[in-house]
Amino acid sequence: MPSFEYKLSVLKSGHCVNKERINLDMNLQPGLRLLSNICRIRGFASQVQAPLTSERYKVTRGNFAALNDKDLGYFESLLGKTRVLTEESDLEGHNTDWLHMVRGASKLLLKPKTTEEVSAILKYCNERKLAVCPQGGNTGLVGGSVPVFDEIVVCTSLMNNIISLDEWSGVMVCQAGCVLEALNDYLMERNFIMPLDLGAKGSCQIGGNVSTNAGGLRLLRYGSLHATVLGVEAVIPNGTVMDCLSLMKKDNTGYDLKHLFIGSEGTLGFVTKVAIQCPVKPKSVKLAFLGMDNFQSVLETFKRAKQDLGEILSSCEYIDRASITSVTDNLNVKNPIGDFPFYMLIEASGSNETHDEEKLNTFLEKIMSNGTVTDGTVASDSSQMLAIWALRERIAEGLLYDGYVYKYDISVPLTTFDDFVQDVWKQVGDDVVRVCGYGHLGDSNIHLNITSKTYDPKVTSKLEPFVYEWTSKKKGWRSRPSNAQLEENV
Amino acid sequence: MPSFEYKLSVLKSGHCVNKERINLDMNLQPGLRLLSNICRIRGFASQVQAPLTSERYKVTRGNFAALNDKDLGYFESLLGKTRVLTEESDLEGHNTDWLHMVRGASKLLLKPKTTEEVSAILKYCNERKLAVCPQGGNTGLVGGSVPVFDEIVVCTSLMNNIISLDEWSGVMVCQAGCVLEALNDYLMERNFIMPLDLGAKGSCQIGGNVSTNAGGLRLLRYGSLHATVLGVEAVIPNGTVMDCLSLMKKDNTGYDLKHLFIGSEGTLGFVTKVAIQCPVKPKSVKLAFLGMDNFQSVLETFKRAKQDLGEILSSCEYIDRASITSVTDNLNVKNPIGDFPFYMLIEASGSNETHDEEKLNTFLEKIMSNGTVTDGTVASDSSQMLAIWALRERIAEGLLYDGYVYKYDISVPLTTFDDFVQDVWKQVGDDVVRVCGYGHLGDSNIHLNITSKTYDPKVTSKLEPFVYEWTSKKKGWRSRPSNAQLEENV
């Protein structure tokens, strides 16, 4: 599959830009969702240019063809002039990520509207050996949707039609460029919800969610996209349309190839349509924010929540002190409870408010009376809930204020979450501002973040391969390739 | 992958044996689970020999090597004499299925205990070009686990160790040969359950469940095995062990290859270990059995159940009149409610009995007061529930009494379930005893069954490709290959 660059291979880790270079306006209202912050950061950050990825990471361009006028003529004949963009200003937002961590040098942005157009584009590029970079909402934190060299950016933004919703089965079919939040809004009006929810939902697109196997806050309840995506239509590099667009919850016809497109980052094919199973909209949502004195209490609270909340447990987030203080200290957001080494954010959503309330009260009574949890607060109206969610969702933003951020998105057994953070602290503690961990307890997925005042290669060399080896030893996974893989791929 | 026969390819459809040839003892107690009946059928049916699959379907043996003494010597050196079985009596149960629909002529049964032994067997067979038939509990209805010619049967029965259960995350790891019910019993003692449940649970093995992507009665609630299986270890034909045994709910390391082993019927690899996410055991289970006057009411009841029962809805089965009467007329099982063209069986299970009862009552009140449902009964103790489940689980057995059964396991949009049955009736009604449909509403999966007094090739030619084309037109799937695929594969 020659015309697809394996872009992840050139990214060593998700290091974030230094706050000095971003010069953020920090007068943000507490309670704003991360999404609004992304927009603000983007607005300010666009004045600063990230170094070219190819130069920063010293990568050599693959043996791809260079774009010429004849190519442009072909694309214009296919899409019309308005959807073939070559101006630097048009390409700016597509050549870099919102954190300004990586930057490519694409000279061409194509905006197909249909599967047939995507197919024609890929077929042509494959024959001409032109490199392609598929791009959705471009909200990723690891640069996977940004060109590295002069790849043609093929953007799904105009492929944003909802094709069907079967109100009996809850199965929705839509094009890849539909924005997650728009899909959720559409469904909410019809008494359904999307089975996934992310901080970036206002910009990220379902095709990108599927291609990156995005997890998020509802995975605990509704499962990963391997569970909820029933069908995928994808175009492979030679232009062939793979119709794996099943609408059936059970489909045993032949090999279930759609799973290969879920999470393969566009390297196997360009996702053009998605069929997804949508749950019924919960009638009641409640949120508890709890503080614990030790990690064992975190584990016990999680187990208790699974027992007592059972089928209404919809989110279970873990946040350590160093993560919370990045928000309270750096962003002036108020922590509504006392100071604790560990916090948990537990969401319950169900079909009967009275029942849900009773379950939540029983759960809270148990964990408070036996001393597992010593302080907490419960929110049930949406503004209170947003304010609490902000403590979790604004951590990524808060960390930027420390200076430079080394980011790792890792799954390890949940019992090892704190050991991991402590071991990393021992490994780099003297050289850094902060080592912190937060993430999805239900999915065993921890966001490990280390910050230093400015970028320090000594920290990187202490972190890698240390973090990868630690993860591997625990049979976990990490979101980025190890050095060994990098050397192999670059 | 030369040493794996694609056994499904030789099966045209799941036609069942004639009752005269089985001579069943029908004095079964109402309320017995299908499993007990399977054992009884087996006991009686073993006196009758199915025709050889290769002769019945006129299939030609592939160009595989023939077993010799040197091969036997190798296997004995590897496994010891007691796990290398060549007596006809040892092989009898492994050369045929429980319905005595298909029969192979294997001369060798191997019983490995470890992945390493499976690897050595497959490596040797691949090099010697000996055909292999992986076999679990051999409970399938479509003959996928039975040899067609003289394939070596490699049976997982002795690979029955539970390796670990993480009581924090609910992730269990076990060998492929663990029996589903044994796993569920083990988990129940530890406050968990298996996320899948099948009538054959007393004999079927988890490796076979995974290889066939078994659905069953809990799919609606906990999702398919693509959702609940976190990891798979499989041996590919050259003996290489594929370690996709992730224990993580989220794992985005590279391509997610384990999904290819789920549902590929052993054609890509021999599943040796499984890691599965186990839900917490529900504290309360209730079962409603309802009668409806028309199919629209079935759909409305399903939609209402999703709304009112929400997160506690755990099964939603659909049964038409012709299916129910196969049990009531042929097996003398009592139908506790009146005579209706359509029935539904709705199970609710949750973490709080009072809440669950209230939800169920609200739901029932609504559908009864608006006339959607005119009669029904609710069971909450286990013997009552078993008696009601028998009405659903004994249909396959009841149908045998009509004579010959033409079986199709099909997913189509649930709104078309009854149209499908009616159209098939119009197509073959004059030539058959019964056309009936029952199955999993939540999964859009209908079991279409047609019976005739004796096998009639005219019925087959009217059913095929009619059923396949109907399914395909609705973008559904069927459990068996179409004629076109058959011709391609045989």
- The CATH code of the domain that includes B291 is 3.30.70.2190
Backbone angles phi, psi at A92, to 5 degrees: -50, -55
User: Does residue B364 sit at the A interface (CB-CB below 8 Å)?
Assistant: no
Question: A478 pLDDT exceeds 60?
Answer: no
**Which among A166, A227, A268 is the nearest to B226, CB-wise?**
A227
B183 plus B247 within the same structural domain: yes
CB–CB contact A252 B212 (8 Å): yes
Of B261, B277, B293, the domain-final residue: B277
With b for 16 or more beta-carbon neighbours within 10 A and e for fewer, the B40-67 pattern comes to: bbbeebeeeebebbbebbebeeeebeeb
CB–CB contact A280 B310 (8 Å): yes
CB pairs under 8 A between A and B: 184
CA distance B198 to B215: 8
CA distance A382 to A200: 19
A309 plus A358 within the same structural domain: yes
Question: A18 pLDDT exceeds 80?
Answer: no
Q: Give me the CATH number covering residue B425.
A: 3.30.70.2740
Of B277, B304, B321, the domain-final residue: B277
User: Does residue A339 sit at the B interface (CB-CB below 8 Å)?
Assistant: no
User: Does residue B213 sit at the A interface (CB-CB below 8 Å)?
Assistant: yes
Average pLDDT over residues A115-124: 98
Of B396, B421, B443, the domain-final residue: B396
How large is the C-alpha radius of gyration of chain A?
Answer: 23
B68 plus B34 within the same structural domain: no
Beta-carbon-side half-sphere exposure of residue A404 (alpha carbons within 13 Å): 15
B65 plus B11 within the same structural domain: no
Question: A315 pLDDT exceeds 50?
Answer: yes
Window 80-99 of A, Cβ < 8 Å to B = none
- Max distance between CA atoms of chain B, in angstroms, equals 74
Taking CB atoms and an 8 Å cutoff, what residues of chain A touch B418?
none
- Nearest C-alpha of chain B: how many angstroms from A318? 14
CB–CB contact A308 B443 (8 Å): no
CB–CB contact A310 B283 (8 Å): yes
A263 plus A314 within the same structural domain: no
How large is the C-alpha radius of gyration of chain B?
Answer: 23
Question: A6 pLDDT exceeds 70?
Answer: no
Q: What value, to the nearest 5°, has the Cα angle with vertex B304 and ends B299 and B308?
A: 155
**Which among A250, A262, A311 is the nearest to B443, CB-wise?**
A250
CB–CB contact A259 B306 (8 Å): no
User: Does residue B246 sit at the A interface (CB-CB below 8 Å)?
Assistant: yes
> What are the DSSP calls for B210-258, one per residue?
HHTT---TTHHHH--HHHHEEEEEEE-TTS-EEEE----S---SS--TH
Closest-approach residue (CA) in chain A for B480: A253
B167 plus B265 within the same structural domain: yes
Domain limits for position A91: 48-155
pLDDT score at A12: 29
Tally of domains within chain A:
4
Q: What is the dihedral of CA A125, A130, A134, A140, to 10 degrees?
A: 170
Residue A476 CA: distances (Å) to CA of A416, A482, B452? 10, 13, 55
CB–CB contact B249 A443 (8 Å): yes
A56 plus A150 within the same structural domain: yes
Write out pLDDT tens, residues A206-265: 999 999 999 888 888 999 999 999 999 999 999 999 999 988 777 777 899 999 999 999
Taking CB atoms and an 8 Å cutoff, what residues of chain B touch A166?
413, 415
CB–CB contact B477 A299 (8 Å): no
Looking at residue B252, its amino acid is N
**Which among A224, A307, A440 is the nearest to B280, CB-wise?**
A307
A-interface mutation test, from B212, B253, B489, most A Cβ less than 10 A away: B253
Window 123-162 of B, Cβ < 8 Å to A = none
CB–CB contact B351 A308 (8 Å): yes
**Which among B224, B251, B442 is the nearest to A477, CB-wise?**
B251
User: Does residue B2 sit at the A interface (CB-CB below 8 Å)?
Assistant: no
Taking CB atoms and an 8 Å cutoff, what residues of chain B touch A307?
191, 280, 351
pLDDT score at A396: 86
pLDDT score at A476: 62
- The three-state secondary structure class of B341 is coil
CB–CB contact A250 B444 (8 Å): yes
Looking at residue A205, its amino acid is Q
Beta-carbon-side half-sphere exposure of residue A270 (alpha carbons within 13 Å): 36
> What are the DSSP calls for A362-417, one per residue?
HHHHHHHHTTS--EEEEE-SHHHHHHHHHHHHTHHHHHHTTSEEEEEEEE--GGGH
pLDDT score at A477: 58
| Strand order through the sheet with A109-110 | A84-85, A109-110, A152-155, A132-135
A307 plus A372 within the same structural domain: yes
Closest-approach residue (CA) in chain B for A359: B352
B151 plus B187 within the same structural domain: no
User: Does residue B190 sit at the A interface (CB-CB below 8 Å)?
Assistant: no
CA distance A274 to A244: 9
In this prediction, residue A5 has a pLDDT band, given cuts at 50, 70 and 90, of: very low
pLDDT score at A474: 81
CB–CB contact A215 B415 (8 Å): no
pLDDT score at A51: 85
Taking CB atoms and an 8 Å cutoff, what residues of chain B touch A488?
none
Contact A84, A110 (CB under 8 A): yes
User: Does residue B170 sit at the A interface (CB-CB below 8 Å)?
Assistant: yes
- Nearest C-alpha of chain B: how many angstroms from A21? 31
B-interface mutation test, from A220, A222, A248, A475, most B Cβ less than 10 A away: A248
CB–CB contact A224 B227 (8 Å): yes
Alpha carbon B460 to chain centroid distance? 23
From the first residue on, what is the mean pLDDT of each consecutive set of 10 residues in chain B (490 residues)?
30 32 27 32 46 88 97 98 97 89 94 98 98 95 90 98 91 97 97 91 96 89 94 96 86 87 94 96 94 96 91 94 96 94 96 94 95 92 90 89 88 91 94 95 89 89 93 66 29
Asked if the bond preceding A481 is cis, omega within 30° of 0, the reply is no
B10 plus B33 within the same structural domain: yes
A310 plus A268 within the same structural domain: no
**Which among B352, B355, B445 is the nearest to A250, CB-wise?**
B445
Closest-approach residue (CA) in chain B for A284: B310
pLDDT score at B48: 57
B479 plus B390 within the same structural domain: no
Taking CB atoms and an 8 Å cutoff, what residues of chain B touch A264?
255
Element (H, E) at B328: helix B321-331
Q: Give me the CATH number covering residue B198.
A: 3.30.465.10
User: Does residue A353 sit at the B interface (CB-CB below 8 Å)?
Assistant: no
In this prediction, residue A7 has a pLDDT band, given cuts at 50, 70 and 90, of: very low
B-interface mutation test, from A165, A212, A249, A467, most B Cβ less than 10 A away: A249
Window 24-63 of B, Cβ < 8 Å to A = none
